[in-house]
Amino acid sequence: MATLKLCYEVSERHVCRVLDLSRSSCRYLSHADEQAALRIRLRDLAYARASYGYRRLHVLLKREGWRVNHKRVSGCTGWRA
């Protein structure tokens, strides 16, 4: 977006109109936590206990004191097939 604005010397509004993109989605900045520590811990648990599913891993995380939703755990474990 910024490159197009500089190269063609046009406004953000014009670039968004040409790309058929809403201006609000161009300006969006996520405020969500990355939770890299959770992902690392979940990966370690999943490798140590390969036969456990996301429900059991969620229980183990809760026992360790992590306050995490089961849906987040099931989304993070999708890579281990």
- 40-67 tens-digit pLDDT: 999 999 999 989 999 999 999 999 999 9
Domain ranges of the chain: 1-30, 36-79
42 burial via Cβ count (<10 Å: 0-12, 13-18, 19+): buried
Q: Which residues of 22-36 are buried (b: 16+ CB within 10 A; e: fewer)?
A: eeeeeeeeeeeeeee
Classified as helix, coil or strand, 30 is coil
The pTM of the whole model exceeds 0.85: no
